[in-house]
Structure formats: C-alpha cells, structure tokens
Amino acid sequence: MEQIAITRTVTVAAGPFAAGHLGELTRLVPFEMVDDVLAATRRTQRRVRLLPARVVVYLLLAGCLFADC
C-alpha cells in the first residue's frame, strides 16, 4: 500500500513581524493571505508605520474571535 504525504511550505515573516509576535492566528490566516486581501481592496500602506495594516487586520480578527471575553 502506497502512502502519500501532503506537505506545504508557508513563508513566515522575520523580526518584529514574526509569527510569534502576532500570535497563533498567523498560522490559521497566513500573512500572504492578508496581504492579498489588502492588495485586492487597495488598502495597502505606502510606508510601514507603528501599526502596519497587516497587524490591524489580525487585531480585528482577534477582536471578533474574542468578543465575549
């Protein structure tokens, strides 16, 4: 019987934008997906500020998930 393993490679940001800095939510919603949505809605930023657009998206998602807390 032949076994097949499905693997996928996910690119993780480094430095202050690393997955650990944004929490486990980045494992479920990769930052590439967030960047694609920001680009599709034309909401990408022109320069990196203290609170980048990508981080705001994760903050909004976390707020929705933990609204009852």
CB-based contact 24:14 (threshold 8 Å): no
As a whole number of angstroms, the distance between CA 40 and CA 38 comes to: 6
As a whole number of angstroms, the distance between CA 55 and CA 61 comes to: 10
pLDDT at 64: 92
pLDDT at 45: 83
As a whole number of angstroms, the distance between CA 38 and CA 35 comes to: 5
pLDDT at 33: 93
pLDDT at 38: 92
What residues in the chain have per-residue pLDDT under 50?
none
pLDDT at 39: 93
